[in-house]
Amino acid sequence: MATNQQRREAAKRKLERQMARRAEQARRRKIVGVGATVGAVVVVAGLVVFFATRGGDGGDAAASPTTSPSATELNIPTQRAAVPHRPTPLANPVQCEYPATPNEPAAKPNNPPQTKDIPSTGTVNVTLKTTAGDIPLTLDRALAPCTVNSFLSLAQQGYYTDTSCARLGTDASLMMLQCGDPSGTGSGGPGYSFADETFPELTYGRGLLAMANAGPNTNGSQFFMVYGPAELSPDYTVFGSIGDAGLEVLDKVARAGHDGSFDPSPGGGKPNMEVKFTAVTIG
């Protein structure tokens, strides 16, 4: 007969296996929230419990197949978050690196961006033309020059055109729409990666545009647009902001809810209102 100690050790091993599976699922989906305040490692009575995102702890993210329960109750703030500024400006220009990811081939053909003499000052206006409405963006080279360089390169090659946003989050602590994966699974990328362009003072909130990742320095093509609170640690590169008209589109999409397909971890699901990019214009 097993002793109490043996039972505790067996339970711990089972929990550790569950943690490993969840972590692998999170890595594959390139989720927003790995290592964030909405996802934490908690030690209780010697056991480690992993929450991949806030969506894994119940609450509003436990959605039905047809609509998220928060869709009709969603309390979307109207106040924008302040656009962050680097405490120390970057050199201008900068050099960027975009190493290939052999184990993660490109979800859609493209050529890697230029790497030399990348400007780190100025802004670029971009419009995501979508089936749900136009979403104007302002990309900020001073915040993240290598990220902006990659985004513009992909946009100019038509990488984002005819792709749909894979994940909508409506949890009270993470309201965002995640896009940029041509495969539509939440795990696709451009076949290369690049380093984070973060700093400790980063915070997130309504109106900000940031890169999704699967851990440090794993940026690719996926990004997320924040329309409400986003209680994240400063691990996600912010590279611009969303115009008022774009926020109206995001609010509309959010209120239509999601299908819960990413519940319980990492949370959220495919938007009930499709957001498909018909074109991306620059300037």
Strand spans (E) along the chain: 41-44, 47-50, 123-130, 135-140, 167-171, 174-179, 208-211, 223-230, 238-242, 277-282
How many structural domains is the chain composed of? 1
Helix, strand or coil, per DSSP, at residue 1: coil
The answer, yes or no, to whether residue 46 has pLDDT greater than 50, is no
Q: Where residue 160 falls among pLDDT bands split at 50, 70, 90? A: very high
Note the pLDDT tens digit of each residue in 112-144.
999 999 999 999 999 999 999 999 999 999 999
- The answer to whether 240 and 210 are in contact (CB under 8 A) is no
CA distance 248 to 81: 15
Q: Which residue has the higher pLDDT, 28 or 209?
A: 209
Domain that holds residue 98: 1-283
Taking all residues of the chain, what is their mean pLDDT, rounded to a whole number? 83
Q: Quick one: which of 75, 76, 70, 73 has its CA closest to 55?
A: 70
* pLDDT confidence of residue 57: 27
The answer, yes or no, to whether residue 268 has pLDDT greater than 60, is yes
Residue 141 sits in a domain whose CATH number is 2.40.100.10
- pTM score > 0.75 for this model? yes
